[in-house]
Structure 1
Amino acid sequence: MASIDKPPLGTPTVKWRFPDIHPEGRKYVAIAAAIALLSLFVFDFITWPLVFLTFGVAAFFRDPIRVTPQGEGMLIAPADGLVTMIQRVELPPELRGPQALGEAPMVRVSIFMSVFDVHVNRTPITGTIRHVIYISGRFLNADLDKASEENERQHFIVEDKNGLRIGFTQIAGLVARRIVSFTKPGDMVVAGQRVGLIRFGSRVDVFLPEDYAAQVTLGQRTIAGETVIARKGGAAVTGISQ
């Protein structure tokens, strides 16, 4: 019997490609493209700026493939962006109580997303969506601490197979005007799965259980679905990224 040659270890089998555009954004790309095309016949001097705007809208709604680390005792970043705050805070009222995250203060890791970041958000753990709580509010700069209490926001609570509950919050910002959820209570999700999107600049907060230590530092950039932001029983990473 003829032997089957196997490719040597390290042989590349994946090629780079342009990220897909998330379905939530395709209509906006189509609208921008239509306006750019119309300007060609009406005000052709603004056609090129509108073409660049179309590419910008497409880039905003890009939805790249992510490879999520596998294993126990890890929390995965729910958002692309800059870690701007790591501090112990009182829980938002919506996340308090025995059916939520309890009453004790928790460490909050805040990830700020600029308009240049990917805005598709992902769940930090595998489990069941227990709560999705939407709250209308203001549109302050999402980088401000008070934005977590005053801005439009949406809380998620995910419970894993061992009963661990993780809460994270999508917060709208100055430019963001819509928080979109892809899941509902009762849905099963796996770590790194897409759960929502915030349009045009915003922030995501993650609340760490007491026995989880932050694995990111202030100023560090995270990648949704890939960066490990906290680990159970580990030592906290300290310092400020330069």
Structure 2
Amino acid sequence: MKIHKEGRRILFFTILALLAVNLLLFQLNARNVTFNRIFAAISAVAFLLLLQFFRSPYRNLLTHEDLLIAPADGKVVVIEDVHEPEYFDDVRKQISIFMSPINVHITRNPISGIVRYFKYHPGNYLVAWHPKSSTKNERTTVVVESDAGPLVLFRQIAGAMARRIVWYVNEGDEVNQGEEFGFIKFGSRVDVFVPMDTDIKVQLGDKVKGGETVIAQLKTTSPSLF
């Protein structure tokens, strides 16, 4: 496992700040050894929690043109038919994955293809499981014309703790299934919108792994693994 590039600078300055504060406490409050040790232990735990947030574990990526792979680690919190107003303006199946602060926060392309649409939306920071977070929060929208044919829309959504969304794709890019398309810092959600005839392979409450878990199968004439 390695540390993701989005966390290296944050971790560097965090450890410098914690070391400086602890050294200052040991100098100014040398007699209160117990307090200094407790504060040092809390600092170490806080740094380790931040370190695990930015972890980038190895993944055995699954690729197949008609299979939709989980774009992120987390828990499936929404599977429903909804009207998607931004790009399709019609009814689609929505699959939403909630990423808690302890999940890996790398977001991955759920399908291979060409990016036909991309847009960044500034917005609010409602809790990520709030029904309106998909349209009110800070977010990005990506639409990929899959190698299997159908268009797939996926959306990074900032949560109450997430204050920065990072993306690595633009319109016209060719993307590969399982590769990183972004990162969301400190709690968030990813929504995926697929055609109505898509076969959903997960259920509410399922825990999924980005790049590995099959969440749906697109309707196509290509041979299937399932």
TM (norm. structure 1) is 0.82
In terms of mean alpha carbon deviation, does 174-183 or 44-53 score higher? 44-53
Distance 1:22 1:72 in 2: 27
Matching residue's letter, 1:154: T
| 1:23-34 pair list within 5 angstroms | 23-34=5-16
Q: Does the residue aligned with 1:90 lie in a helix, a strand or coil?
A: strand
| 1:126-205 pair list within 5 angstroms | 126-205=112-191
Residue of structure 1 in register with 2:83 after alignment: 90
Change (3 A) 1:166 1:224: same
Change (3 A) 1:21 1:92: farther
Equivalent residues of 1:32, 1:50 under 8 A apart: no
Q: Does the residue aligned with 1:139 lie in a helix, a strand or coil?
A: coil
Distance 2:106 2:70 in 1: 12
Change (3 A) 1:159 1:233: closer
Deviation at 1:63, TM superposition (A): 1.1
Equivalent residues of 2:71, 2:211 under 8 A apart: yes
Residue of structure 2 in register with 1:41 after alignment: 23
Q: Which runs of 5+ in 1 are unaligned?
A: 1-18, 97-102, 235-242
| 1:209-228 pair list within 5 angstroms | 209-228=195-214
Equivalent residues of 1:129, 1:185 under 8 A apart: yes
Q: Does the residue aligned with 1:29 lie in a helix, a strand or coil?
A: helix
Distance 2:8 2:85 in 1: 34
Deviation at 1:233, TM superposition (A): 4.6
Matching residue's letter, 1:203: R
Residue of structure 2 in register with 1:239 after alignment: none
Deviation at 1:41, TM superposition (A): 1.3
For the pair 1:76 / 2:93, whether they are aligned, the reply is no
Matching residue's letter, 2:166: V
Deviation at 1:161, TM superposition (A): 3.5
For the pair 1:120 / 2:106, whether they are aligned, the reply is yes
Matching residue's letter, 1:37: L
Deviation at 1:193, TM superposition (A): 0.5
Distance 1:76 1:162 in 2: 13
Residue of structure 2 in register with 1:54 after alignment: 47
Distance 1:50 1:182 in 2: 32
Equivalent residues of 2:125, 2:161 under 8 A apart: yes
Identity of aligned residues (%): 39
Equivalent residues of 1:32, 1:53 under 8 A apart: no
Distance 1:51 1:35 in 2: 12
Write out per-residue CA displacement over residues 184-206 of structure 1, whole angstroms, 9 at most, x where no aligned residue.
22222111010001100000000
Q: Which runs of 5+ in 2 are unaligned?
A: 27-35, 221-226
Equivalent residues of 2:116, 2:144 under 8 A apart: yes
Query: CA RMSD, aligned part only?
Result: 1.5
Write out per-residue CA displacement over residues 55-106 of structure 1, whole angstroms, 9 at most, x where no aligned residue.
111110111121222323200100100101101111032x23xxxxxx3200
Equivalent residues of 1:176, 1:198 under 8 A apart: yes
Deviation at 1:162, TM superposition (A): 4.8
In terms of mean alpha carbon deviation, does 49-58 or 121-130 score higher? 49-58
Distance 2:146 2:218 in 1: 14
Deviation at 1:21, TM superposition (A): 0.7
Higher relative contact order (CA 8 A, sep 6+): 2
Q: Does the residue aligned with 1:105 lie in a helix, a strand or coil?
A: strand
